């Protein structure tokens, strides 16, 4: 991918000064969410209820969780398109374990999901870093391989709610202080990842790799290792998302998680993670997921056909890419003129 990405002038400078801008992106996303929410409430007064907020959080949770891993990968100027298929595979495998062993411990089930995803993530990371081919095509290929394997394993069957233990389903529907457990799990992971991406040296390396791979290599950053880790994390979180998908829907067939990869990439990019790497935050990506989900639910509440979802997601994705480019050009320009005048950045 790096061969295709255009050069980004002054990204390092942009980053040094950009934290206020990034925060501005998160703020504007938040305002947008509030606007969509408020506008919908004006048309349909039932929209502003605790129940629908819970629905919003639950609906966005899985995409936000996948968005964490995807953000890490995209920041290194790669992309992971296999996440949707991992969700389907992991959900079905966990469901199968429950079907054969109804007393399987809940925590172990989650761990199983993570392990399935980690295995796929490791394969993606290994192929991408060793052969140095664009991850887009690698993960497109693994997406199909996993979907095919999933189809073979599922073989037309469905795992029905009666096989999923109540204690496991509770993750999907129970709440704590009014907040769904699913949302709590995801918020904790997003917050943790957000902190790690700000504070740990190894996570700052990801930004360096995405900004300028050669410079990162010369600066002694073990780029291959970091990119591999990003794919490993993305796969693991997708595996976890699969287990949570099962808890939420209490049912799984071959279509589980289909098309998620596009929603996740849309959410992450709308959330301000530059598709050509080097900038963006996990929290922005999560807000992007909430925004997309709010629009989805708003369409339902205002009785617009749900057939609009896909076109809106695609349009927003394109707009976000254009907007990011415009923003980075403007910042680069203003940095240049500011430097010329004052030399004080």
Partner 1 sequence: MTSETSTSIPTPPASSPPGKTYTGLDTSAVPLWRGLLRWESALVVVFLGVLVMGASNSSTFLDGSNFFFIGVNEGEVAIMALPLLLIVMTGEMDLSVASMLGLSGTVMGYLFQNGWSIWPAMLAALVVGALGGALNGFLVAGLGLPSIAVTIGSLTLFRGIAEILLAPKIVTGFPISLTNIGVIPISGTELSYSAGIFLVMALTVGIVLHATPLGRSIIAIGLQPEAAKFSGIRVNRIKFSLYVFSGVVCSFAGILFALKNSSVSYDAGLGLELDVVAVVLFGGVSIFGGRGTVIGVVLSAVTFGTLLQALTQMGVQAEVQKIITGVLLLLSLVLPRMGLVIAGLRDRATQPAKPAQPIQPVQSA
Catalog residues that contact partner 1 under the rule CB under 8 A: 1, 3-6, 79, 127, 130-134, 136-138, 140-145, 147-152, 217, 262, 265-266, 269, 275-276, 305, 307-315, 317-318, 321-322, 325
Q: Which is nearer to partner 1, 102 or 259 (CB)?
A: 259
Q: Which is nearer to partner 1, 111 or 299 (CB)?
A: 299
User: What are the structure tokens assigned to 136, written together?
Assistant: 């887009």
CB 276 → partner 1: shortest distance, Å? 5
Q: Which is nearer to partner 1, 179 or 321 (CB)?
A: 321
CB 130 → partner 1: shortest distance, Å? 6
Q: Which is nearer to partner 1, 26 or 261 (CB)?
A: 261
CB 132 → partner 1: shortest distance, Å? 6
CB 217 → partner 1: shortest distance, Å? 8
Q: Which is nearer to partner 1, 40 or 142 (CB)?
A: 142
Contact 2, 215 (CB under 8 A): no
Contact 264, 168 (CB under 8 A): no
CB 27 → partner 1: shortest distance, Å? 24
Nearest-5° Cα angle at 270, 216 to 23: 70
CB 307 → partner 1: shortest distance, Å? 5
Nearest-5° Cα angle at 274, 273 to 275: 110
Q: In Å, what is the CA distance from 240 to each residue of 65, 236, 261? A: 9, 6, 15
Q: Which is nearer to partner 1, 134 or 165 (CB)?
A: 134
User: What are the structure tokens assigned to 95, written together?
Assistant: 């469901």
* Interacting residues of 236 by C-beta distance below 8 A, sequence separation 6+: 69, 114, 117, 118, 121
Distance CA 291, CA 59 (A): 11
Distance CA 114, CA 112 (A): 5
CB 225 → partner 1: shortest distance, Å? 12
Distance CA 263, CA 314 (A): 9
Return left, alpha or beta for 83; rule: phi > 0 is left, psi -120 to 50 is alpha, else beta: alpha
* Interacting residues of 62 by C-beta distance below 8 A, sequence separation 6+: 87, 182, 186, 241, 244, 245, 248, 260
Q: Which is nearer to partner 1, 25 or 147 (CB)?
A: 147
């Amino acid at each position: 991918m790096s061969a295709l990405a255009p050069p980004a002038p002054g990204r390092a400078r942009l980053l040094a000064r950009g934290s206020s801008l990034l925060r501005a992106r998160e703020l504007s996303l938040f305002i947008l969410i509030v606007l969509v929410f408020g506008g919908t409430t004006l048309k349909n007064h039932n929209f502003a209820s605790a129940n629908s907020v819970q629905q919003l959080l639950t609906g966005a949770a899985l995409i936000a969780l996948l968005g964490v891993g995807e953000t890490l990968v995209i920041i290194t100027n790669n992309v992971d398109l296999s996440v949707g298929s991992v969700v389907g595979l992991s959900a079905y495998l966990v469901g199968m374990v429950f079907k054969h062993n109804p007393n399987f411990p809940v925590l172990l089930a989650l761990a199983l999901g993570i392990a399935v995803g980690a295995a796929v993530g490791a394969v993606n990371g290994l192929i991408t870093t060793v052969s140095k081919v664009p991850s887009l095509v690698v993960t497109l290929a693994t997406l199909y391989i996993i979907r095919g394997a999933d189809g073979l394993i599922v073989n037309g069957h469905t795992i029905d709610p009666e096989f999923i233990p109540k204690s496991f389903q509770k993750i999907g529907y129970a709440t704590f202080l009014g907040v769904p457990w699913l949302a709590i799990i995801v918020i904790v992971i997003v917050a943790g990842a957000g902190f790690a991406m700000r504070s740990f040296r190894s996570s700052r390396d990801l930004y360096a790799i995405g900004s300028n791979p050669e410079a990162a290599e010369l600066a002694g950053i073990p780029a291959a290792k970091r990119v591999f880790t990003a794919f490993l994390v993305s796969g693991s979180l997708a595996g976890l998302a699969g287990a949570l998908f099962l808890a939420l829907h209490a049912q799984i067939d071959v279509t589980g998680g289909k098309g998620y990869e596009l929603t996740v990439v849309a959410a992450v990019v709308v959330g301000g993670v530059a598709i050509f790497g080097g900038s963006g935050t996990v929290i922005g990506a999560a807000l992007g997921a909430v925004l997309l989900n709010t629009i989805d639910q708003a369409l339902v509440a205002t009785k617009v056909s749900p057939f609009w979802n896909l076109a809106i997601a695609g349009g927003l994705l394109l707009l976000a890419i254009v907007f990011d480019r415009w923003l980075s050009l403007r910042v680069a320009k203003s940095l240049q003129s500011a430097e010329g005048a004052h030399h004080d950045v």
